[in-house]
Chain A
Amino acid sequence: MRNIWTIAKREYDHYFISPIAYVVAVALLFLVGGYFSLMLLAANQGGGFGGGFVPAIPEINNLFGFLLLLSIPALTMRVLADETRTGTIELLLTAPVRDFELVAGKWLGSFMFVLTLILVTVLYPIILNSQVSPGLDWRLIISSYLALVLLTGALMALGVGISAIFSNQVTAFITTLGLFIFLWWLVGIPSSLFPVGGEFFNYMVLNSHFGGALNQGNVYLSDVVYFLSLIAVGLFTGTVAIEIRRWK
């Protein structure tokens, strides 16, 4: 555990000197913040809250989640690929650290960086709460943020896992993005082809667990398990990829 934390800390710090991380952070916060502001504006012009259009946090987080889908590959592509390029992987693989601890540490550090961005957006429900009466339904907000956090964790784990497979950043980026798009939209398509077992493909659809359930305030165990499984799959893939690399 201690090794995971040591590696996570370094990884987290690294994001604050990484140009890509700043670009992603600025783009995400600008787009999500802009969307929130426009919604507030629209609500005010539509005769104030209560009458017309009401800004909803799940809607903002839906956009946030979608943007994460597109930007996380850019964050995770370098996580292990970069260590391979500069040769520092040799340092980590000859230090008394288990391969799993290395992958988990890299994931945790990256996860904490995006959590920091998510934390900034917690301002929005606080602002909104001061504007409406009788206030927000906080259970919905918490569920929505839980959805965002779990989604981030899962996407990050898959990204880190893929980054461990490739020593080239561009390949890692494209593969990660391709996988995310597949999981978000495409994986459910075969469900109609199979009379039996189609539920499996439906269950695999990422968006139905994010936008369709948790983000709407419905916390089901199956959705939480889905995200936790993706985290496990990502970390496992990364660990195996590093082990295979050793044997090559």
Chain B
Amino acid sequence: MIQVNGLIKDYGARRALNNISFDANQGEIVGFLGPNGAGKTTAMRILTGYMPPTDGTITVAGYDVVDESLEVRKRVGYLPETVPLYNEMTAFEYLKFMGELRHIPNSEERALETLESVNLESRSHSYIGTFSKGMRQRIGLAQALLHRPEVLILDEPTIGLDPSQVVEIREVIREIGKDRTVLFSTHILSEAQQICDRVLIINKGKIVAEDTPENLQSRLVGAQRVVLRVRGESDDLAAKVKKIKGVKAVETKADGSIEFEFSAGQDARPQVAKTVVQGGYELLEMRSVGMSLEEIFLELTRESASGKKSS
């Protein structure tokens, strides 16, 4: 559905996107993850036909974004970062206007249906200027969904929403993602982890990692960390744990807790538990602290930053 090949975008002398390639299939939710200024918005603006790329071939829904821009735009729903709304229009008027621009037959009916799908039907005749941030985000999303596009591109759709609204929007995205292609950007990692089938981590105009959230985690972590706490002395326990197969990097912390790692695929936890029980220790806590996507993200973006410095 989305195919990006060697995408480059220059703003004057500054290279905003440096040779980006990726694709997204139908029924896939792809998360675009990266710090602010990484190039997420630029990439999305190119995909939606807002601006042309400096170089590279990009096809969306089977059409080239430069040569067949209008065809692409017909098939894409786009929610920009600053939600583009006319404050002086009512929610219904706004969607009706967009429906007419998109040549939707009986645009009034469709406007009402779409308002219902984002739970705004009770406010359909209120002026958008009176809407809260969450409602603005939802009416913006309604605008992107209105023509039932094959590809949905959402730029930070959950930014500035309260937690319950975030959950709501995520639910909507997941629902749409079942049969259509969704590309959405975020800098909240847990969000990408929750909804995406695949994550693209982008930093300084380059894709630094691309995989499913689970794979990304296991691939980059390679090992899992566990914290173990028992009542009383734990030094001798640490020594015993060290002997268990697969366990490495055993550390005794100042508060008496033991931290150890084991390689992926060699879960040492059952053996450790047995050792604790057989040794007569009073177990207080055993939990895994596996590297979060957050840490991976920091690591990756740091890597690419230091890589740039040395080159």
Contact = CB atoms under 8 A, between A and B. Distances in A.
Contact of B50 (A10, A93, A96): A93
A95 B70 CA distance: 8
B135 interface: no
A6 B48 CA distance: 21
A94 B78 CA distance: 8
Interface stretch (A84-92, A155-163, A176-184): A84-92
A87 B82 contact: yes
A198 B11 CA distance: 44
A94 B48 contact: yes
Interface string B71-106: 101101010101111111000000001101111000
Contact of A95 (B45, B71, B102): B102
Nearest to A5: B100
Contacts of A90: 45, 50, 78, 80, 82, 84
A95 B82 contact: no
A137 to B, nearest CB: 44
Nearest to B140: A91
A26 interface: no
A89 B78 CA distance: 13
Given A90-B50, A94-B49, A3 B88 contact: no
B207 to A, nearest CB: 23
A3 B85 contact: no
Interface in A221-248: 246-248
B102 A96 contact: yes
Contacts of B100: 6
Contact of A96 (B73, B82, B85, B88): B73
A26 to B, nearest CB: 20
B51 interface: yes
A14 B86 CA distance: 10
Size class of the B contact interface (CB-based, 8 Å): 20 to 34
B143 interface: yes
B290 interface: no
A95 B88 CA distance: 20
Nearest to A16: B88
Interface residues of A, number: 23
A247 B52 CA distance: 6
Interface in A58-72: none
Nearest to B88: A17
A89 B103 CA distance: 19
A2 B52 CA distance: 25
B28 to A, nearest CB: 21
B52 A87 contact: no
Nearest to A95: B101
B78 A10 contact: no
Nearest to B12: A248
B143 A91 contact: yes
A46 B80 CA distance: 66
A91 B73 contact: no
B97 A94 contact: no
The interface centre, meaning the residue of A3, A90, A98 with most chain B CB atoms within 10 A of its CB, is A90
The 9 closest A-B pairs by CB, nearest first: A91-B84, A87-B82, A88-B84, A96-B73, A96-B74, A94-B48, A6-B100, A90-B80, A87-B84
Interface of A: 2-3, 6-7, 10, 14, 17, 86-98, 246-248
30 contacts: A2-B103, A3-B101, A6-B100, A6-B101, A7-B101, A10-B86, A14-B88, A86-B85, A87-B82, A87-B83, A88-B84, A88-B85, A88-B86, A89-B84, A90-B45, A90-B82, A90-B84, A91-B84, A94-B48, A94-B49, A94-B50, A95-B101, A96-B70, A96-B73, A96-B74, A96-B101, A246-B51, A247-B51, A247-B52, A248-B51
